[in-house]
Amino acid sequence: MKNILKKKFAPLYFFYQFIGNKVYLVFLFSTLMVFMDSVGLTLFIPLLQIADGNMNTVSSDINDNISLLINTFFGYLGLDVNIPNMLFLIVLLFTLKGIFFYFSSLYNAYAQQQVALKMRTSLADGIKKLSYKEYVMTDVGRLQNTVLAEVWQVIVACIQYLEAIKNVLFVIVYLGFAFFMDWRFSLLVLIGGAITNWIYKFFYKRTQQLSREITKNNHRYGGIVIEVINHFKYFKATGRSSFFFGRLQKELEDLVSTNMLVAKLNAKLSALREPMTVVVICAVIFLHVTVFKSPLSAVMIILLFFYRVMQKIVDIQTGWNNYLAQTGAVENMIDFQHYLQRNVDTFYDGGNMLDNIQSIELCGLYSSYNEAVVLNDINLKIYKNQSVAFVGESGSGKTTLVNVITALLPFDSGNFLLNGQSIQSFNIEKYKSKIGYISQEPTIFNGSIYDNITFWADRTELNISKFNEVVNICSLRNFIDELEENEHTLLGNNGLNVSGGQKQRISIARELFRDIEILIMDEATSALDSETENYIKESLEQLHGKLTIISIAHRLSTVSSADCIFLLEKGHIVAHGNFLELKQKSEYFKRLTELQGM
């Protein structure tokens, strides 16, 4: 069943992944609802006949079919065919229709919420597993728009798609009853439906084109919004905000313009809806009365069937156009889902336990990016609680090397050993949980100091004690005590309310709160003044011998006490040793120390 859906009805299969078998309940209750409605309408014909006492008010073929149906149905129920029983049965049928309508609406709503929940969960899980290498190249505007805005558009599309299928079921049931009573009417309505569908085809194609344009426009708009938020201070300080807000305004105007074109198409379809229905119905009446020579009174009840059939046919066409208005979002969501599946991070899930990290060893390791070799035959070993540093000019491979060590980036060949065993034999998430990472631009969340350091941990006695301990280690106590709200002080978006040095110390405190074994310092002090750098250096010196510290630095003063410094050049380790040893081994390193007054 799933394979058939996947091949023939790709959108339905996509929605089915999130709704599951509950979609069958939606269709079941909808079918029962229209069945009750059809039987109830059918009973009006013999009811009118009995009430008038005239069995010739409808054509004989209709009368014979309905009489057979009614007599069989009432005989099965053990009831006499009379007005009170018919009225009671009609009321009962339409009451049942109302009950089935309730359950159909209820399961519709439930299905929609399930789509929303599962789709958002699936996207969150996909982004969580997205490889870092792919993330740095992704279109952040598309990512934000897909996750935040287009989820709801896809839900709307799902609603329209299911409604179209339900209306198809309605038409089938209605036409089945109508065909049972008079096949000529059914044929005429089908012809009418085919004509209206031919008219709608133009709208379908144009709506789909506009929907795709809207999706691309939303991606661009979302990307510019992110740029504005990330670089707001720069724009305000340099007076260049007008340019980016101008781009934002243009994308917004294009978006509104395209949406208005879609709205015009929908307005035209809505305007055509009832006139087309009435034209077809009038044509059916005209043909039946003038060509088939049937009295008008003979076709009034059956025309009610046809009116409902035509309404549902037009509903299908209008609803389908509404669905097509969201196809850009649906196609993007399907493609984005495949994109996330194709670019899942490489998770090693070996069976070996990793209680602690005794050593990290890289043997003959090569790594490339876009076919260019970035790391070339890397051989090094880092021991537990050792302090090491990577130095070298920009582009020498320092950051890539750290990214490989932290398992952010894969490597092409060579060996990566933890405690003498391949990293692939360990669970990679377990390994990463033992790593703390401090970058040049520290990660600060829009929360309090306590929440930033503890990562929103409960305020238990143990957590508060641990919080105070890391605050003291990172020389944050005086700073926090001078604040009016102390550790409850909000840091603002990306830490706008605190200085660069304070943000770095808060970031270090957060990592220490986690009980990490490895602390990565990726040029963490390069943007700080000398005094603040000394504070950070003093904090790190307290950790010397207690953690494995891996540093990338341009300022050699921050790594002068490292146990081992690796000098990189064009992706290759050309020398290593402690500070004094490296000055003797490398003329390049010696020149760097002289330039920096060391």
d(CA 429, CA 435): 10
User: How far, rounded to the nearest angstrom, does the alpha carbon of residue 91 sit from its chain's CA centroid?
Assistant: 46
The whole-number pLDDT of residue 69 equals: 66
DSSP state of 448: B
Residue pointed to by tokens 């060893």: 361
* Cβ(379)–Cβ(368) below 8 Å: no
The whole-number pLDDT of residue 232 equals: 64
Give CA angle at 440 (435, 445), nearest 5°: 70
Q: Which of 111, 150, 163, 148 is nearest to 321 (CA)?
A: 163
Helix (H, G, I), strand (E, B) or coil at 564: strand
- Residues 346-433+559-598, CATH architecture: 3-Layer(aba) Sandwich (3.40)
Interhelix angle 530-541/500-513, nearest 10 degrees: 10
d(CA 14, CA 29): 22
d(CA 565, CA 551): 9
d(CA 337, CA 409): 22
The whole-number pLDDT of residue 56 equals: 42
- HSE on the CB side for 22, CA within 13 Å? 18
Interhelix angle 83-129/327-342, nearest 10 degrees: 40
* Cβ(386)–Cβ(550) below 8 Å: no
> Radius of gyration of the chain from Cα atoms?
36
Q: Which of 289, 262, 127 is nearest to 206 (CA)?
A: 262
Which residue pairs from 528-535 have beta carbons closer than 8 angstroms and sit at least 24 positions apart in sequence? 528/500, 528/501, 528/504, 529/501, 532/499, 532/500, 532/501, 532/504, 533/501, 533/557, 533/558, 535/475, 535/501, 535/505
Name the token pair of 332.
Answer: 């993007």
Residue 293, beta-bridge partner list: none
Residue pointed to by tokens 């941990």: 457
DSSP state of 552: E
What is the enclosing helix (H) or strand (E) of 219? helix 183-230
Distances (CA, A) of 142 to 15, 149, 240, 253, 345: 21, 10, 25, 19, 20
User: Helix H segments across 130-182?
Assistant: 132-135, 140-144, 150-181
The whole-number pLDDT of residue 55 equals: 44
How many other CB atoms are there within 10 angstroms of residue 292's CB atom?
Answer: 13
The CATH fold assigned to 2-217+270-342 is ABC transporter transmembrane region fold (1.20.1560)
Output the 3-class SS for 347-406.
CCECCECCCCCCEEEEEEEEEEECCEEEEEEEEEEEECCCEEEEECCCCCCHHHHHHHHC
Give CA angle at 410 (409, 411), nearest 5°: 120
The whole-number pLDDT of residue 216 equals: 78
d(CA 162, CA 266): 19
From its phi and psi, is residue 494 left (phi > 0), alpha (psi between -120 and 50) or beta?
left
The whole-number pLDDT of residue 4 equals: 57
Strand order in the sheet with 435-438: 435-438, 518-522, 548-552, 387-391, 564-569, 572-577
Q: Which of 280, 114, 271 is nearest to 189 (CA)?
A: 280
What stretches in the chain show pLDDT beneath 70? Answer: 1-9, 41-70, 73, 177-186, 188-190, 192-193, 197, 228-242, 244, 273-274, 277, 288, 292-307, 347-348, 524-533, 535-536, 539, 598
DSSP string computed for 254-296:
HHHHHHHHHHHHHHHHHHHHHHHHHHHHHHHHHIIIIIS---G
Strand 518-522 to strand 387-391: parallel, antiparallel, or no bridges (unpaired)?
unpaired
Q: How many Å from the N-terminal Cα to the C-terminal Cα in the chain?
A: 73
d(CA 97, CA 89): 12
Q: Per residue in 265-304, pLDDT tens?
A: 777 777 776 677 677 777 777 776 777 666 555 566 566 6
Helix (H, G, I), strand (E, B) or coil at 171: helix
Going along 474-592, which residue ranges are E strands?
518-522, 548-552, 564-569, 572-577
The whole-number pLDDT of residue 118 equals: 83
Q: Does this chain's domain 2-217+270-342 share its CATH topology with 346-433+559-598?
A: no
Handedness of CA 445, 450, 451, 455 (dihedral sign): positive
Helix (H, G, I), strand (E, B) or coil at 547: strand
User: How far, rounded to the nearest angstrom, does the alpha carbon of residue 490 sit from its chain's CA centroid?
Assistant: 29
Sequence spans of domains, the chain: 2-217+270-342, 346-433+559-598
Q: What is the pTM of this model?
A: 0.68
